[in-house]
Amino acid sequence: MSDMRVKDLAGTVGITAERLVEQLNEAGINVSKPDDQITEEQKQTLLKFLQQRHGKDADSSSSSPKKITLKRKSVSEIKLGGATRGGKSVSVEVRKKRTYVKRSETEDAAAAAELLKQKAAEEQAAEVARQEELRLQEEDKRKQLLDEEARRKQEAEEEAATIAAAIEAEKQAAEEAERAAEEEKKAIEAESKNKKTAAKAKKKDDELTPSQLAHKKLEEADAKRRAANRARIDAEKALEAKKKAREEEEALEKEREKAKAAAAEAQAKEQKAGVRKTKDAEAKHNKDKTARRGGRKDDDFERKELHVSEGKSGRRKKKKGGGAASRVAMKDQEHGFSKPTAPVVHEVSVPETIGVSDLAQRMSVKAGEVIKALMGLGTMATINQVLDQDTAVIVVEEMGHVAKPIQENEVEQALKVSDEELGELKMRAPVVTVMGHVDHGKTSLLDYIRTTKVTSGEAGGITQHIGAYKVQTSRGEIAFLDTPGHAAFTEMRSRGAKVTDIVILVVAADDGVMPQTIEAIQHAKAAESIVIVAVNKMDKPEANPDRVKQELANHEVIPEDWGGDVQFVPVSALTGEGVEDLLDAISLQAEVMELTAPEQGPAHGTVIEARLDKGRGTVVTVLVQQGTLNKGDIVVVGQEYGRVRAMFNEKGEQLDTAGPSTPVELLGLSGTPAAGDELQAAPDDKTAREIANFRQTKAREQKMAQQQAAKLDEMFNKMEEGDVKTLNVVIKGDVHGSVEAVSQGLQKLSTAQVKVRVVGSGVGGINETDAQLAAASQAILIGFNVRADNAARKIIAEKGLDVQYFSIIYDLLDVVTKAMTGMLEPVFRDEIIGLARVDDVFSSPKFGDIAGCLVIEGVVKRSNPIRVLRDNVVIYEGELESLRRFKDDVNEVNSGTECGIGVKNYKDVKPGDQIEVFERVEVKPTL
């Protein structure tokens, strides 16, 4: 273990950094702060010091007892039935027996470390308790605030009701005053009418006139209004006093809460200090006791017995301190959880990939501890990051657990087939792959054998897909695979070579060995396949088979007549010359190889090609290699699964079964698999679904792990690239192989100035999702033998996306190359068009210094930029201010003519200088 900081060692041991600093200083190691470094020797010194403190002496050889047993017995009495004379006394006798075993040095150190860990755990528990208490206090405060808010709301409602009542009373008083005034007015009118007859009427002295009655009512209304006003004023004063009292009460309540919080905080600090002091004392006491007794083993047992006896007089014996002792005895009998004294070691199953959170859960630790361990190993990780198996095993072992690497392909064991289920081996047809350079006649030769016209249906006369056919010849059945010859279809040729038995290498007799011919030889050798060379186009007058043999011999393909082991058959796909000899060579080679395969049992094959058909869904071309594939079988193909709904041969005829070496088209899979995936028959639909989901999850995890690992590299690459332009493309094709070939071909076009990035690809027509992706990433949509649907066309028209349709791959590559060229910055080149020699310099009051020049080369134009040369060194670059011929301003002066030149913003032209006139010409950029 290398040097490390004090606080890191404290975290590993499980104590505080300050405590470890104290121990280091006590051991004679000068450490002042937790960030100081300590060496391995200092760690050993600290360990020896702690061992000596705990009573271990390396030189001691005393024959002290290795084991000691201590017994204790305590008796107490408790009262039953009250304090009456007839009560009983119960004697409680507690017997304890403990065995102590002297530990070794390692166990002493482990015990000390465990005590330190227990201390830290207790401190953490006290901190948690304090936090819980503070949380409860906060909840109480929040509850009090809610109650106070409700009380305030109720008081506000009461105040509003009081004010409303006062306003209503005042309104009623005003209405009564108005009625009184109206009655008084009526009374005065009545009195004026009866003035003439008032003298005649005799009234009693105690009766009142109508005007007096009106005045009396008016006074009563005024009194009521004044009383209402006084009541309203009194209510407002009462409300104001009540509000003031409430504010004073709130201020007092806040002061009480502050004082209560301060007291609670002080009490918590005192409790924490007391708990820490008590725990330190207990830990020290336990350490001293462990050192004196040589360590304590786990208690063998604790036997406690309860004895009940009566006194002589039937009374309970009262013993001093008996009540406390009985409570202690009853407390000892209680059950409780005891923390493990030793770390728990788990056996952790580690799959091929596992997330950090999942790994922490399996070790029963927090994810932060796993991240800390990874950081200690020099790996920065997050809780969602996926780790590979090797890294996860190192982390598990670093944290003290046992790692158990497992393989997660146990779910795929259900697809394994025993030899008994496969049955006996029988002869099968050879699988022959036709390979070679483009336009050397591969498909034409196969066309002659099949007596069909395949090349006429291919775009541009070149094969775009892997074609699989089973041909019935006079010498038996032969399965043929026709691979593309274009440079972009390297992966297709590689897959064709892997599933084949014999490779027919077609070489044109008039063209010789070409790049794809060499590539086909390399694929055949990598797959360890037998090679038969078909020298095609022998009907042409310029055919030269000896040249073909010579060139192939340079690549370790030696003809039989030259002492090698490779058959050379001259053929002509146009006239049929030598085709029978080629079939004979294939049949002979197949007999020598003794090709066999079991016909019984579940089928096993390889995906040759896959595409998405609009009417039929996913269509997969599969070459069955062993077993029998039946209609209705449940199959697993890579990450996809499904039931075989229908099978077709190369002629489109439906099949019910397909044996070994039979290429068929399947319908019914859940998705489009990748070319090259294996097909395996599954026992039931549930098993197939589980296997497919497992493979999808595994592929997704591996992709995430690769992305995490490549992030840093990608960042550095972007920093190095600088202002490199990027052309984004979205590719959709008819089959998976074509999409793969187009993607690889476009990526190979990337240069240091412009890079091609495939932001999306897939099999099938261009849909709405593809158009949205192209719009978001500003990409070009490329359809290879597919078209856009209606929804995609609407988005393309709305957002003005660039869509390109192709059926020939080299046309596609040419168009993309032109688009990349158009993204390059324009390049300008200076072209010199004239040169004038300065013979003299004249001073003009109107134009300043004028250089008298003679044009010695080309033409001097006034509008073009110039350079002033002195001793063939450029001393100024600018433009002309004036160009004159005698007294006339001119636009240009030809060679051999004198002129006057005024240089703009430059006054240091001298005789003997040269004025160079040039123009900037744009040069078309190229990749």
Binding annotation: 436-443, 482-486, 536-539
Contact 287, 112 (CB under 8 A): yes
Distance (Å, whole) CA 387 – CA 407: 15
Q: Which of 464, 477, 509 is nearest to 609 (CA)?
A: 464
Neighbours of 24 (CB within 10 A): 22
Q: Which residues contact 512 (CB under 8 A, 6 or more apart)?
A: 544, 547, 548, 551
> 850-888: b or e for each residue (b if 16 or more CB lie within 10 Å)?
bbbbebebbbbbbebebbbbeeeeeebeeebebbbeeee
In terms of DSSP H, where are the helices of 754-908? Answer: 768-777, 790-799, 809-822
3-state class (DSSP) for residue 309: coil
Distance (Å, whole) CA 636 – CA 668: 11
Q: Which of 436, 498, 501, 495 is nearest to 463 (CA)?
A: 436
Distance (Å, whole) CA 689 – CA 675: 20
Contact 824, 753 (CB under 8 A): yes
State the amino acid at position 606 in one-letter form. T
> Strands 402-405 and 347-350: what pairing?
parallel
Q: Which residues contact 697 (CB under 8 A, 6 or more apart)?
A: none
**Phi-psi group of 784: left, alpha or beta (phi > 0 → left; psi -120 to 50 → alpha; rest → beta):** beta
Distance (Å, whole) CA 581 – CA 564: 19
Cα maximum dimension of the chain: 172
Distance (Å, whole) CA 472 – CA 429: 10
Alpha carbon 82 to chain centroid, angstroms = 73
Contact 677, 696 (CB under 8 A): no
Contact 64, 102 (CB under 8 A): yes
Alpha carbon 538 to chain centroid, angstroms = 59
Q: Which of 667, 662, 660, 637 is nearest to 650 (CA)?
A: 662
Neighbours of 484 (CB within 10 A): 27
Q: Which residues contact 491 (CB under 8 A, 6 or more apart)?
A: 675, 737, 740, 741, 744
Contact 294, 103 (CB under 8 A): yes
Residue in the structure block whose two tokens are 């068009």: 833
Backbone angles phi, psi at 114, to 5 degrees: -65, -40
Q: Output the known binding site for GTP.
A: 436-443, 482-486, 536-539
State the amino acid at position 527 in one-letter form. A
Distance (Å, whole) CA 158 – CA 238: 12
C-alpha distances (whole Å) from 816 to each of 780, 788, 807, 821 are 10, 19, 14, 9
What six digits make up the tokens of 688? Answer: 């197939």
